[in-house]
Each structure stands twice: as C-alpha cells, then as structure tokens.
Structure 1
Amino acid sequence: MSDPVLELQGIAKCYNPGQPGAVNVLEYCDLSVAAGEVVALVAPSGAGKSTLLHIAGLLDTPDSGAVLLNGQQMTGKGDQARTIARRREVGFVYQFHHLLPEFSAAENIVLPQLANGVARGAAEERAAALLGSVGLSERMTHRPAQLSGGEQQRVAFCRALANQPRLLLADEPTGNLDPATSETVFAALMALVRDTGMGALIATHNFELAGRMDRVVRLDTGRLVTQS
C-alpha cells in the first residue's frame, strides 16, 4: 500500500457543546486514505459525512484529533497555511457542480490554476487536456447553462483536478443525476482518479457504486466502521 495522503486520527466534533441540544456528530474517527486508493464513505443523511469531509479538506476544524495531509500535521495551523494546503493538495466535488455561470467550461478550470500561480498558457493547456480526458473537448467554450447535468459534473471533476491535488474529496458527486448519467459520470471520475494516482474519499448513498471502490467505510452514530 502506498503512503497515506490523508490521515484522520481521533477526530471528534460536537455541535452546541454544553447545551441541551448538543449533538456529537463525530466521535474519535480514525481513517487513512492511501495514494491511488478510492474509499467510499456511506452514511444516512444527517449522520455527519459532510462534516467529516469538511474536516478532512481543512474547511472545518475538529474539537479534538489530528488531520494529516501527505504526512504533514495540519491541526492547529493558521488560516493562511490551511488555505495554501487546501488549494495545493485537495480537490473538492459536490453534489451540485457550483461552476461559475459566466465563464466557459475551460475558464472554470483555468481560474483555480491562475489563483495558484500557474501561467495562463499552461493553465489553458491543462484545462484542454482534462476536458479531453472526459470527452468534452468540443464543449470547452460552452457555459454551464449550455451543458447537460452530466457534462456539468464532469467539468466540476476537471476543475477539482486542475491544480493536481494529491487528495480528492467528493460529496454525493452523482446524487443529482439519473442512473444512466450517474454511471457515465462515475466512470469518468474513477478514470481520472486512476490516471492521476491520487487518493479519493467519496461519500455516496449509492451502495452499488460504493461496492466498486477499493474500500467501503460506514459512518455509524459518529464512528467509522470498515465494511470491506
């Protein structure tokens, strides 16, 4: 097994601590995701999977425990250090594509690269290569409103990979799609992950898709349980 790109050690998170409505969302969760590994995260709605992904991606902080990216301890780091690590090391995909509507498919992939200091020419070349890899070369200049749901989500995948992250986090990436489109989009996602060798943690309600990933972990009453 390759070295882990993500390690969660004893992660705990409580909302409204000390109050009558306190909710222990996560209780001492441990998880490791290796480079080249695709891990499915399954849980019912409201169980805390989005919270876990946000903590893993440095968008939220745990009450206790440690988050390591590529072996680097990120817990306790300042906002600037976390932002830089998130921009360079982590790609995010959500159930809804969140593409910028006023920009083309290619421009949506170019912009995060420019924010990361990549020259425009190189950023445009990478955008074209990524879109070509998911069969969207002829849709590069189209804005999101001119794309189908499946095409929009494939562009979102490409955007997540724009800065060549080591870790991909996806929250129900096919949950807003019909079954046929979901299959196409899932295949594109898996191909992108396999081709790059990154690690991926993918939250899904779709048990059939989860079973096709390398490993399945279940979030149950705040704790992670390995299913396979």
Structure 2
Amino acid sequence: MSEQALRLEGITKAYNPGKPNEVQVLRGVDLTLAPGEVVALVAPSGAGKSTLLHIAGLLDTPDAGTVQIGGADMTGQSDRRRTLTRRNDVGFVYQFHHLLPEFTALENIVLPQLANGTARRAAEERARGLLDKVGIAVRADHRPAALSGGEQQRVAFCRALANAPRLLLADEPTGNLDPATSDQVFAALMELVRDTGLAALIATHNLDLAARMDRQLRLETGRLSTT
C-alpha cells in the first residue's frame, strides 16, 4: 500500500445551506493519512469531527472538495461503488460498540467477512486470530451481554478490521470506558493497528491518548490545525 490511505482536499460542509440558520461545519479541510499512521482528531463538542469522519468514510458527501481512499477518487462515484469501497477499505469504530446482541463475539466478527464473500472457515480463523491479538480469545463464544464494556469494545475493534481495511475511522472509541479500562482498550487498538499497518484517524477528547498517536490534529471553526 504505497499510496496514501486517505486524502481529503478542500472539504466543505454546511447544514441548512442558504437559510438563515445555515451552519458552516467544515471550511476547506485538507488531510492526508499514510499507511501505518495513527492520527488523533481533537475537537470540542459540536465542532464537526463526526461529520468529518462520515465524509472520510463515505457515509456522507461534502458540498465541495475531494475524498480519495487508497489513491482512488471517490468524488461523484455511484452509491454502489462507494458502498463497495466502504465495505472493503474502511473500518468504523464508535463510542458504543453496536455489536449484534444475538450473536457471539466470534460471530460478530465473522458476519462482515461472510457478507464480503469470505468462506466461513477462513472467516472464523481470522476472527479467532483477531480476538487473540486483543487478549480475549477465551471470550469468543460469549454474547455481548456477557462481556464487560472493555471486552465489547475490543470485539468492535476486531469487527472493524475483519475485512482487512486500509483505513480505520474511530469516533471516541474509549469514551464510554473508565480511565483504566480506556487505557487497556486503547493499547489493544494500537497493537491491532500497528500489526496490520493500516492508517487510523481517531477522534478523542482524551489528550493523554492523543499524545500517544503519531500526530494530533485539532478541528475548530471548521478548519484543521496541528496541535
């Protein structure tokens, strides 16, 4: 993966454009992420970090600007092309784990692989390997309700990486956890990212965690700056 994992150029986004209550959320954001790079996105509440992550992950479209993933320009692509790129090349982690409650930890990681055409045996092997890397292989057959908050989020990390994406986008991935658990879970996430060599953009309010990443960017008044 020699090309940039993510490149944003001139990204703008406004809500209620042209109306008295228009809110300009992003004002010409430029951002590049290289393979293997972990970047912290720090922003006050309401600054637009979730909007930026959604645009980077092809869940939303900018009013202007371009989004490139793995060197491919996604501007103006069909919904099908965007969906396929999102499925194959992007992993998402949120503050809440969003695991399917009726399935085990293992099954939650296997399912996105099956949807992507992976054979069940290979999918299960990859799922077990990912769970082992984050230290909860023994919990593979437990459903989410039987897991602790930290364990649930580790499973969510594994699910996000199930299809070997080139880009991971995380929105406050440790925000619901106590400080000690947050530190442990973040360490597990960093190990996964470093092992796989993918690029990661991680939004967080935790400045201690942000300082452990390769770069820290701050989003404020619609623009990015280096902290």
TM alignment of 1:64-79, pairs within 5 A: 64-79=64-79
**CA apart distance, 1:137:** 1.0
Q: Which amino acid aligns with 1:57?
A: G
Gaps in structure 2 of 5+ consecutive residues:
none
Counterpart of 1:32? Answer: 32
Counterpart of 2:42? Answer: 42
Measured in 2, the distance between the counterparts of 1:3 and 1:61 equals 22
Measured in 2, the distance between the counterparts of 1:137 and 1:112 equals 18
Counterpart of 1:22? Answer: 22
Structure 1-normalised TM-score?
A: 0.98
Counterpart of 2:217? Answer: 217
Measured in 1, the distance between the counterparts of 2:70 and 2:86 equals 12
Measured in 2, the distance between the counterparts of 1:195 and 1:137 equals 17
Q: Secondary structure at the match of 1:4?
A: coil
TM alignment of 1:50-89, pairs within 5 A: 50-89=50-89
Structure 2-normalised TM-score?
A: 0.99
2:44 matched to 1:7? no
Q: Structure 1: which 4+ aligned runs deviate by more than 2 Å?
A: none
Measured in 2, the distance between the counterparts of 1:16 and 1:216 equals 30
Measured in 2, the distance between the counterparts of 1:203 and 1:137 equals 27
Counterpart of 2:122? Answer: 122
Counterpart of 1:90? Answer: 90
Aligned alpha-carbon RMSD (Å): 0.6
Q: Secondary structure at the match of 2:209?
A: helix
Q: Which amino acid aligns with 1:189?
A: L
Q: Which amino acid aligns with 2:88?
A: R
Aligned length: 226
Q: Secondary structure at the match of 2:5?
A: strand
Measured in 1, the distance between the counterparts of 2:31 and 2:3 equals 13
